[in-house]
Amino acid sequence: MEIFGDELIETAPPIFYNNKTAAKPLDKYPFDKGGYAIVGLLSESDANDLQKEMGQFYTDDISVLNEFKKAWVFSKQSPISPSDYHYVIYITHKGTIVEQFAVNLNSHVIATDKGYFYFDSDNLTAFKSRVKKPVAHNMSFKSISEGRNYLSFMSSNKNLVLAYEPIWKDFEGQFTFTYKDSDKKEDPSVVEKKVERKIKKSFPNEKFQLNIVSFATSGEYEIELICNRRLFEEFDLYPSDNTWAPYEANIASYWKK
């Protein structure tokens, strides 16, 4: 309920709409083959007793995973799209994230790639005594090569539950350069594709990612190029600030006890 002036107004609860096709987000995963886990990591949101009681959790038990699969069928669409969530729920395979969902326990919402659905807290409460606590590891390395060696070890370790894939797995750092659209008519998506084609043509053996950081009405674009240092040193296609920003090699991961 809400109070406006001296009036007490009862606010109606949100209406959840039945969906013709139920969402079964776990249905596609062959849990019986092994190597899978469901991992629930805390996200910042308003207070919730169940979140406080459960904390972070995981299960790689095949029977429990299949019970999650059976229980997590959502048929009521939610009109609510929360701005924050109590949990991010990850599906992992051999520690690699393959999909994720977000759950707000107070608003009773789960966000999936199929949209927002009603989420009954019992969908978690039922598993409270059947999940385990992961152990968080935060590792820092003196160099990217040292970090990449650790990634190789980590990926083969059966005790790994979840690891965030670091950008330094493929790239050493980034820099920015300027693209000028003299006609001031090009759409940002057109500029991005045009610049990407030119870089690929000029440096066919180099991996990279690019992002438009900003653009002005004057037609000037600031573009960020994520790549290895060799490309930065050879880059001469557009004016750059000549400042190389190397990545720090660190990684967060979660393990079985």
pLDDT in tens, 219-228: 899 999 999 9
Assess whether pLDDT exceeds 60 at residue 14: no
**251 lies in some domain:** no
* pLDDT score of 187: 85
The CATH number for 217's domain is 3.30.70
H or E, element range at 7: strand 7-9
Burial class (CB in 10 A: 0-12, 13-18, 19+), 114: middle
- Three-class SS of residue 196? helix
Asked, for residue 257, whether it belongs to a domain, the answer is no
Q: Does residue 19 sit in the same domain as residue 115?
A: yes
Residue 254 domain-assigned?
no
Do 43 and 115 lie in one domain? The reply is yes
Band (pLDDT 50/70/90 cuts) for residue 20 is: low
pLDDT at 9: 40
| Number of structural domains the chain divides into | 2
**pTM of the predicted protein model:** 0.83
110 and 207 co-located in one domain: no
Whether 151 is in a domain gets the answer no
Residues 23 and 117 in one domain: yes
Residue 125 lies in a domain: yes
Q: What is the pLDDT of residue 7?
A: 44
Among the candidates 133, 161, 191, a domain finishes at 133
Whether residue 175 is found in the same domain as residue 223: yes
> Which of 94, 256, 96 has its CA nearest to residue 164?
96
Check pLDDT > 90 for residue 216: no
Q: Is the pLDDT of residue 217 over 90?
A: no
Predicted pLDDT at 2: 39
- Domain for residue 185, yes or no? yes
Domain co-membership, 104 together with 194: no
Same domain, residue pair 91 and 7: yes
- Taking a C-beta distance cutoff of 8 angstroms, is the pair 88, 43 a contact? yes
Is residue 217 within 8 Å of residue 186, measured between CB atoms?
A: no
Residue 138 lies in a domain: no
Mean pLDDT for 194-211 is 97
Query: Are 15 and 127 in the same domain?
Result: yes
Residue 6 and residue 126 in one domain = yes
Q: 245-246 and 173-180: which strand pairing?
A: antiparallel
pLDDT at 11: 43
Examine the domain organization and report whether 121 and 212 are in the same domain: no
**CB count, 10 Å around CB of 196?**
15
119 and 27 share one domain: yes
Residue 182 falls within a domain, yes or no?
Answer: yes
Identity of residue 81: S
Report d(CA 249, CA 148) in Å as an integer: 9
pLDDT greater than 50 at residue 10:
no
Token output for 216: 């002005």
What domain range is 72 assigned to?
Answer: 2-133
Residue 192 and residue 89 share a domain? no
